[in-house]
Homo-oligomer: A and B are copies of this chain.
Amino acid sequence: MIDTPSLVDQYCHGVLRTELGLGTFEARLGAQLGGSGALPAAGTTFFDTQTGFAVRRWCPPLLGLEAHCPPARYLARRRELGVAEAGRRLLRASGIAAYLVDTGLPDDLTGPAELGVTGAAEAHEIVRLEPLAEQVADTSGTVEAFLANLAEAVHGAAVHAVAFASVAGVRRGLTYTPEPPGPGEVRGAAGRWLAGRPAGGPLTDPVLLRHLLWIAVTAGRPLQLHAGNRDPAALAGFAAATAGLGTDLVLLHSYPYHRAAAHLTGVHPHVHADLGPVLAHTGARAAAVLAEVLERAPFGKLLFSSGAHGLPELHVVAANVFRAALTRVLGEWVRDGAWSRTDAQRVATMIAAGNARRVYRLA
């Protein structure tokens, strides 16, 4: 009824190049739940989740098996085909026409170019800010050099990146105040961090994280903020402080506070919300969750993504779950007379691809 065009996946990662067994595949499903790669509780399995059931629903048929077949049978077939061929079949069946790829994960995943070739799609790079700052710290000898190189690295990345992303920024950087820190404060924080840091050590200092977010705000690319599955109240101050500066913000990972995130997109013209894990990880419930996001967000402010990492199954599940949810929710509103069919089709196209093409200035 409602037709969904080719999708723009506005936030994802690459896929693994290694063959996976039952345990390594399951660990990747567990990582989607938000834990730090933990094991499942004794007597339970991460396959017994909405994501696990959604993978078993959508993926086996793409590899020639029956939907809902046991995980072991699916993984045997996947190894029989080989990781490359399985990945190609899965990604090309997803209906995703463009991938925006955050390359900042430490795992050895395919980059944008390789993901694009495998999936026969456009691909663009999202630069994650924290690893960039850590690389700059690894190669800068003094505080002055670090701060100068940091600004240069961010502005340099803006030339080829379609967006910046920050994961620790919201959680650790915006706790006390949203305003940019002063130069003296930044120098002091940088000095302390560099002095105490082992090579490769992560950036967790709140002042430096805030400084980094504000450099990105001046670099002219949309800034994706990982909301850390917390109430985006912490973000309200930063949203207000960055209003009118010309840089778009995109809120990631807002579940279960997705309604608060959607509300925030109506308050500020430059704030947008990602639908990725909000829908992709809720499987059979995605239509219900999508409907909640559509309560208060202006329809021009919502962006599809998969949020997938490691497994091409997660790109596929996100795309299928999203399309089914959109068709069901908007179709029901058309049948009720609440929306016109023309409007519903127009909004579907906006959320699936159009809004992302506008925000990231894609062709």
Contacts and interface: CB of A to CB of B under 8 A. Distances in A.
A269 B43 contact: no
B269 A48 contact: no
A296 interface: yes
A33 B281 CA distance: 28
Interface stretch (A3-11, A99-107, A141-149, A287-295): A287-295
Categorize the interface residue count of chain A: 35 or more
B267 A35 contact: yes
A268 interface: yes
A229 interface: yes
A344 to B, nearest CB: 9
Contact of A343 (B35, B68, B291, B295): B68
Interface string A332-347: 0100111110110001
A135 interface: no
Interface of A: 33-35, 38-46, 48-50, 53-54, 56-57, 67-68, 229-231, 233, 243, 255-256, 259-260, 263, 266-270, 281-285, 288-289, 291-292, 294-301, 333, 336-340, 342-343, 347, 350, 358
A284 B40 contact: no
Nearest to A41: B269
How many copies of the chain does the oligomer comprise?
Answer: 3
Contacts of A38: 243, 267-269
B284 A336 contact: yes
A284 B266 CA distance: 17
B295 A50 contact: yes
Given A34-B267, A291-B288, A338 B57 contact: yes
Given A53-B343, A256-B259, A338-B57, A40 B291 contact: no
Contacts of A297: 49
18 contacts: A33-B266, A33-B267, A34-B263, A35-B268, A38-B243, A41-B270, A41-B300, A42-B269, A43-B300, A44-B298, A46-B298, A49-B298, A49-B299, A67-B340, A255-B263, A256-B296, A281-B295, A285-B291
Nearest to A272: B41
A67 B338 CA distance: 9
Given A41-B270, A256-B263, 17 more contacts: A33-B296, A33-B298, A38-B243, A38-B269, A42-B269, A43-B358, A44-B300, A48-B299, A49-B296, A49-B297, A49-B299, A53-B343, A67-B337, A229-B260, A255-B259, A284-B338, A285-B291
A291 to B, nearest CB: 6
A27 to B, nearest CB: 12
A298 B38 CA distance: 13
Taking each of A53, A266, A291, which has the highest tally of chain B beta carbons within 10 Å of its own beta carbon? A266
